[in-house]
């Protein structure tokens, strides 16, 4: 079931009049390398300025490859630097070791407060509210949080993965940040490409191929591929992605009956 979000923030910048968010439950098992390679090929059809077209199409291929190979969220992938990739330690095993990749969804609770409203919401938030007899209003508990500066454990990406050549070609062309800020946006305060721009790139490619793409789509596909082709179990998935709950690995790694034969 698709859910419409209000027009605000980067959702509005990326999606226009409405934002449709697909549930992770709708993601099928590993879609296969052919589709991923079609996605890479579709980068050649993205329109850019003639003086930058080849460079930016190469960057887009590198972005798609990095999202899949690392299984990272877009906010995590855009912060990657060349120093995060160790080509020597795992060379004898045919892998590159990714070190110190940031995790952006770890928060620490530093306080709480109560939110009151006279009108009970009619959306999915409705279940979070309770009735306060004294105030004659609905309320729910809210938390103040701050992000934790944590990173994933070291994990490998394989040299023989079919998207690795596109990643490596782009990797060799940059100096520090894997996806540096575009030269056209002089006012950008970030040293790397913005998450808004990354979402625009991914959405555009997916739209042209008739598939709703977002970073968790790549995470789920990578998890399913690791189970299907690398024979990862739940414990290995937890270590690879930096997940804390066993159920998360089961949710992402979807197997069909054919995979059990």
Rounded Cα distance between 90 and 205, Å, is: 33
Contact 109, 144 (CB under 8 A): yes
Tell me, what's the pLDDT at 18? Answer: 41
Tell me, what's the pLDDT at 244? Answer: 82
Contact 151, 101 (CB under 8 A): yes
Q: Any idea what the CATH number is for the domain that residue 25 is in?
A: 1.10.443
For residue 2, is it within any domain? no
Rounded Cα distance between 125 and 23, Å, is: 16
Does one domain contain both 128 and 235?
no
Rounded Cα distance between 109 and 143, Å, is: 6
Domain assignment of residue 227, given as a range: 7-88+157-260
Tell me, what's the pLDDT at 15? Answer: 46
Strand partners, 155: 98
Does one domain contain both 141 and 214?
no
Q: In this structure, is the dihedral angle defined by the CA atoms of residues 5, 191, 166 and 45, taken in order, positive or negative? A: positive
Tell me, what's the pLDDT at 1? Answer: 32
Does one domain contain both 11 and 126?
no
Does one domain contain both 175 and 243?
yes
Residues of the chain with pLDDT under 50: 1-24, 107, 185
Contact 170, 62 (CB under 8 A): yes
Rounded Cα distance between 80 and 256, Å, is: 33
Q: What is the pTM of this model?
A: 0.77
Does one domain contain both 82 and 208?
yes
For residue 99, is it within any domain? no
- Find the helix packing angle between 234-241 and 215-229, rounded to 10°: 140
Tell me, what's the pLDDT at 245? Answer: 82
For residue 95, is it within any domain? no
**Buried b vs exposed e over 242-253: b needs ≥16 C-beta within 10 Å?**
bbeeeebbeebb
Which stretches of the chain are assigned E, i.e. beta strand? 3-5, 19-21, 85-86, 95-98, 102-103, 107-117, 130-132, 137-147, 150-151, 155-158
């Amino acid at each position: 079931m698709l859910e419409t979000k209000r027009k605000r923030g980067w959702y509005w910048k990326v999606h226009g009049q409405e934002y449709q968010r697909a549930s992770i439950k709708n993601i099928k098992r590993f879609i296969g390398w052919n589709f991923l390679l079609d996605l890479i090929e579709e980068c050649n059809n993205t329109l850019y300025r003639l003086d930058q077209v080849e460079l930016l199409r190469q960057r887009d291929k590198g972005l798609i490859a990095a999202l899949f190979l690392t299984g990272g969220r877009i906010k995590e992938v855009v912060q990657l630097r060349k120093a995060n990739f160790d080509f020597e330690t795992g060379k004898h095993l045919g892998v590159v070791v990714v070190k110190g990749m940031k995790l952006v969804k770890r928060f620490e609770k530093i306080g709480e407060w109560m939110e009151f409203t006279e009108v009970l919401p009619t959306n999915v938030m409705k279940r979070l509210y309770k009735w306060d007899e004294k105030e004659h209003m609905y309320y729910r508990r809210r938390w103040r949080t701050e992000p934790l500066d944590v990173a994933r454990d070291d994990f490998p990406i394989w040299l023989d993965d079919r998207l690795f050549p596109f990643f490596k070609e782009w990797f060799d062309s940059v100096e520090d940040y894997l996806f540096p800020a575009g030269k056209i946006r002089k006012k950008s305060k970030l040293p790397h490409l913005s998450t808004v721009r990354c979402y625009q790139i991914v959405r555009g490619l997916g739209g042209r191929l008739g598939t709703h793409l977002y970073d968790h789509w790549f995470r789920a596909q990578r998890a399913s591929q690791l189970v299907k082709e690398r024979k990862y179990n739940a414990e290995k998935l937890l270590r690879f992605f930096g997940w804390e709950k066993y159920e998360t690995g089961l949710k992402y790694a979807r197997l069909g009956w054919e995979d059990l034969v």
